[in-house]
Amino acid sequence: MYRAVTRQIEVTVEPNFMPERSSDSEQRYFWSYTIVITNEGAETVQLRTRHWIITDATGRTQEVRGEGVVGEQPTLGPG
């Protein structure tokens, strides 16, 4: 599990290897990610954009940018 805290917003990421969607012979490896965002501050905040930098085992990186998550911009109350 990976964890980062910025301005009292905690983001944890748990990668999950999916062997049923992967193929060693084709060198294709599929992963899903469970991401939890927690507002540890005293004010309500809104997730407006996202920016993920994903690095694989070979050091190759992929950047993902966009508005909100899954097309939504949720608000997170304190706690």
What does the pLDDT look like over 35-55, one tens digit per residue? 999 999 999 999 999 998 988
Q: What is the fold, at CATH topology level, of the domain defined by 2-76?
A: Immunoglobulin-like (2.60.40)
Q: What is the pLDDT of residue 70?
A: 86
Rounded CA-CA distance 15/19 in Å is 13
Residue pointed to by tokens 């809104």: 46
pTM: 0.79
* 9-17 vs 49-55, strand pairing mode: unpaired
Sorted by where each begins, the domain ranges of the chain are 2-76
Residue pointed to by tokens 């012979």: 25
- The encoded tokens of residue 73 equal 């911009």
CB atoms within 10 A of CB 39: 19
